[in-house]
Amino acid sequence: MLVVLGVGPSASARHHMQLLLKPIEMHSASTFQCMDPHKLNACPRPDSDCLCGLLRTPNIDRLAEEGVRLTQHLAAAPLCTPSRSSFLTGRHSFRSGMEAHDGYRALQWNGGSGGLPENETTFARILQQQGYATGLIGKWHQGVNCESRTDHCHHPLNHGFDYFYGMPFTLVNDCDPGRPPEVDASTRARLWFYTQVAALGVLTIALGKICGLISVPWKAVLGAASLVFLFFVSWYASFGFVRRWNCILMRNHDVTEQPMVLERTAHLMLQEAVSYIER
């Protein structure tokens, strides 16, 4: 979920505006029961009470009634990174380099060097230039760094936002210790398989040496074991700690929780959003 807030006026603003944008990524049609068209048709007011009476949403209904409600939307892409870049800039994602055709259409790591280019104009930057205070609470997933982990060249604060609190990456299965891995899951499975095969080979050679079935120097056995261990460490240092590297919360440029605790993440973001509006 991404919550973008444009709140004004500042000292130089000529108008007062409150803008709340809340795009929600639907992972399945069963996420909300009112996705069922039959239940929508049965609702006396399909545009209110998100769960058709199962869950009352009076405050959201009031926002819709007092503000501008957009009922039609065409997403630029079916997943996070490219659709969000288009939403922020009003341009097709391939024009800003935020699209790919190699199976990696969404950014996979916080430590990656890709992200929304600094020269892209976002609607947040336009609001900021008009004197409005802008804040982003929620998920970014448009990259963080360029050349080092501290340059934050793709950070929200470099794209027109005065304040940021939330996930610089995204919410994946790896963020929940009880769920199967998601980030490069097939690559991770292959690497683990190769490690097991190599370790089994070294153990077989060592047993053959002990039983006198083969004549191999112990230095060679230990060397092979060391190579297998180094191979394991080389990939496990990243894939074994996906939750720590990717599942974090930030406030502006500072990491506030690493890894984040999912049970309280939504509550923390709600508190931040309310606090930002009140400020």
Identify the pLDDT of residue 20.
58
Residues paired with residue 136 on neighbouring β-strands, in sequence order: 4, 164
**Per-residue pLDDT for 121 more than 90?**
yes
Q: Which of 70-74, 104-108, 147-151, 176-180 has the highest mean pLDDT?
A: 176-180
What is the per-residue pLDDT for 196?
96
Closest listed residue to residue 157, CA positions, set 118, 195, 99, 209: 118
The residues carrying an active-site annotation are: 80, 141
Q: What is the pLDDT of residues 13-57, one digit of tens each?
A: 444 555 555 554 444 333 333 444 444 444 445 455 444 556 677
Q: What pLDDT does residue 149 have?
A: 79
- Predicted TM-score (pTM) of this structure: 0.74
* Sequence-separated (6 or more) residues with CB below 8 Å from residue 123: 88, 89, 90, 160
Task: Identify which has the larger pLDDT, 7 or 231.
Answer: 231
Identify the H or E element spanning 218.
helix 218-239
Q: Where are the domains of the chain?
A: 2-31+74-171+247-278, 185-239
What pLDDT is attached to residue 66? 83
pLDDT tens by residue, 235-267: 999 888 888 888 999 999 999 999 999 899 989
Query: Looking at residues 115-132, what average pLDDT do you find?
Result: 90
